[in-house]
Amino acid sequence: MTLTLDPENGILDPCPQITPRYLSDLKMMFKDQQVVDEILKEENRLIYEIRYYPFRTSKSDMALAVTRIFPGSIGGEYHMTKGHKHERDDQPEVYYCVKGEGFLLLDTLEGEFQAIPWRAGTITHIPPMWAHRVINTGTDLLVFIGVFHLSAGHDYEIVAQKGFSYRVYAVDGKPALIRQT
């Protein structure tokens, strides 16, 4: 099976499934809940979209997902993915940044943390058991590819409960990692 990705806009062809994530879908992930509520009164902003393709064979199943994060911030905190940990603790993932700039946050949610600076061309291996979240700190679209096993599973609840160790804010127009207590 061969797919085509337009690196300029992150459009995948063919693409059987597109999942939009609106502000209301990741409301709890942003720190400033008052600002979130104020924005939601005006508009339910589209933060990112996931374009998904499952590769099914008789022996093993993989999936490819292309995520397009639109630029912007909520209460000074840059647009980001919801973030999750894989349900299966033996399942890694490979992320490839196609376009844009930002950070990949990796967190065990048990004290270990890494922020990987990202730009077009960066490839990062996400080990099993590390929660992962991508932040768009640029003024343009951030596009990345994730390749993972279809059986990995996605635990969003644990991220909502424990939170990542750092958040990424725009401070004087530049990204700053702020430790969460």
Binding site for ligand F6R (CB under 6 A): 21, 50, 65, 67, 81-84, 93, 132, 146, 148, 152, 154
Tell me the closest approach of the beta carbon of residue 87 to ligand F6R, in angstroms.
10
In this complex, which beta carbon is closest to ligand F6R, that of residue 17 or of residue 33? 17
In this complex, which beta carbon is closest to ligand F6R, that of residue 39 or of residue 64? 64
**121 Ramachandran zone, left/alpha/beta (phi>0; psi -120 to 50):** left
Among residue numbers 74 through 93, which ones bind Zn ion (CB under 5 A)? Answer: 93
In this complex, which beta carbon is closest to ligand F6R, that of residue 79 or of residue 169? 79
Interatomic CA distance for residues 133 and 164, integer angstroms: 9
Interatomic CA distance for residues 125 and 93, integer angstroms: 6
Binding residues with Zn ion: total (CB under 5 A): 1
Tell me the closest approach of the beta carbon of residue 79 to Zn ion, in angstroms.
18
